[in-house]
Amino acid sequence: MFVLGIQGSPRKKGNCDYLLTSFLKACESHGAVTQVIHPDKLDIQPCKELIVCEKKGFCPIQDEMEEMGYSLVKKADIVVLASPVFFYNVPAQVKGFIDRCQMFWGRKYKLKLRDPDAYHRQGFLLGVGASGGKRLFEGVELTATYFFDAISAENVGSLTYRNVEDAGDIIGRPGLLKEIQTAAAKLVEPVLNKKTLLFVSDKDACCSQMAAAFAKEAVKGRFKVLTAGKVAAARSDATMVKVMAEKNMDLKYQTPQSLEKVLTGLGREPDHVIFFGSKEAMPGMVNVIAEEWDIIKPRDNSLEAFQTLRDAIEVRVNQFIPSLLRSLG
């Protein structure tokens, strides 16, 4: 599983840095893979309110947001936002990052596209501020709530600390590390312990992605649904993304993964694997239920051919899910 940390403070070795590093270390100790991004260090321009995202579903501003923002946010199982209070809200750099996530808001609310990972993704806030007022975190918490909603993450909680001013003030607070360990374990362990359904196709660019999206909607977060390719394509098939959007499913940021990488990341055997085609690529696993589904190749590259393929996969997945629920329960 992948945890993305957004380090919102521009200060080097400050309090957010310490909090986030400790939090992510705790996640790693439970088996999560983590990555930190610093909005302050990225080339991310503020939103210019061009409204292209609300009409066409993408942001035309060319900067690092696509690769270091949008892609990573959508890859994440858990997004941890660490932010100091600056004038009762997040720092401008974080606000700029969040404002650019209006692109996801536009896809979700204007274009009515559902992210199949919405059942699964979680958002968590870490906050620090210098004063001790009761309402100190209200602005940050409200902003974080709507940020998590835009990126289709469930807002699952926060740890906030008052009377933290100078760099390092947070270090050594009684009970801090224990509190972080407990919160991280509560977030990560249920995700890691979820039973896993894996769809494998040749390149993880089309059939596996479609099947996984339908399965994610059907199991509503009860299982972790993964996809992999015997080899991974550079990107998902654009026509596949288009025909899934016709079903109001947002697969734009689903990235093909190699089977090897997925199994390494999982750190254990998946519980159920479905192969589009032969399961000969399956490494020697003993306890896995594996089945083969026919490869249904689109007859050509036309939209109609992909629509036919999509509909066939939807029917197959919906027939299969009840038996999966009975066997993995």
Ligand X SMILES: Cc1cc2nc3c(=O)[nH]c(=O)nc-3n(C[C@H](O)[C@H](O)[C@H](O)COP(=O)(O)O)c2cc1C
Cβ partners under 8 Å of residue 325, min gap 6: 219, 222
Q: How far is the CB of 93 from ligand X (least distance, A)?
A: 11
Distance of CA 231 to the CA centre of its chain: 22
Which segment (115-123, 127-135, 255-263, 311-319) binds ligand X by CB under 6 A? 127-135
The residues pairing with 273 across neighbouring beta strands, listed in sequence order, are 198, 290
Our finding on whether 127 is near ligand X (CB under 6 A) is: no
3-state helix, strand, coil in the chain (%, to 5): 45, 20, 40
- The window from 78-86, 117-125, 187-195, 309-317 that contacts ligand X (CB under 6 A) reads 78-86
How is residue 84 written in tokens? 């100091």
Selected binder of ligand X within 128, 150, 200, 232 (CB under 6 A): 128
User: Closest approach of Cβ 85 to ligand X, in Å?
Assistant: 4
State whether residue 128 is helix, strand or coil: strand
Nearer residue to ligand X within complex by CB, 15 or 122: 15
Question: Which residues, 167 to 206, sit near ligand X by CB under 6 A?
Answer: 167
Q: Tell me, by CB under 6 A, how many residues bind ligand X.
A: 18
Question: Can residue 85 be called a binding residue for ligand X (CB under 6 A)?
Answer: yes
Nearer of residues 13 and 186 to ligand X, judged by Cβ: 13
- Which residue lies nearer to ligand X by CB, 139 or 265? 139
Contact between 138 and ligand X by CB under 6 A: the answer reads no
Give the separation between CA 247 and CA 113, rounded to whole angstroms.
Answer: 8
- Contacts with 105 (C-beta within 8 Å, 6 or more apart), sequence order: 53, 54, 150
Pairing of strands 196-201, 154-161: unpaired
Give the one residue of 35, 131, 323, 327 binding ligand X; rule: CB under 6 A.
131
Distances (CA, A) of 108 to 56, 82, 116, 225: 12, 25, 11, 21
4 versus 219: smaller Cβ distance to ligand X: 4
**5, 39, 57, 84: residue in contact with ligand X (rule CB under 6 A):** 84
Q: How far is the CB of 227 from ligand X (least distance, A)?
A: 37
Which stretches does DSSP call E strand in 134-214?
154-161, 196-201
Of 51 and 171, the one with the shorter C-beta distance to ligand X is 171
Distance CA 194, CA 167 (A): 38
Window contacting ligand X (CB under 6 A); options: 21-29, 70-78, 162-170, 311-319: 162-170
Give the footprint of ligand X on this chain (CB under 6 A): 9, 11, 14-16, 84-88, 128-131, 136, 164-165, 167
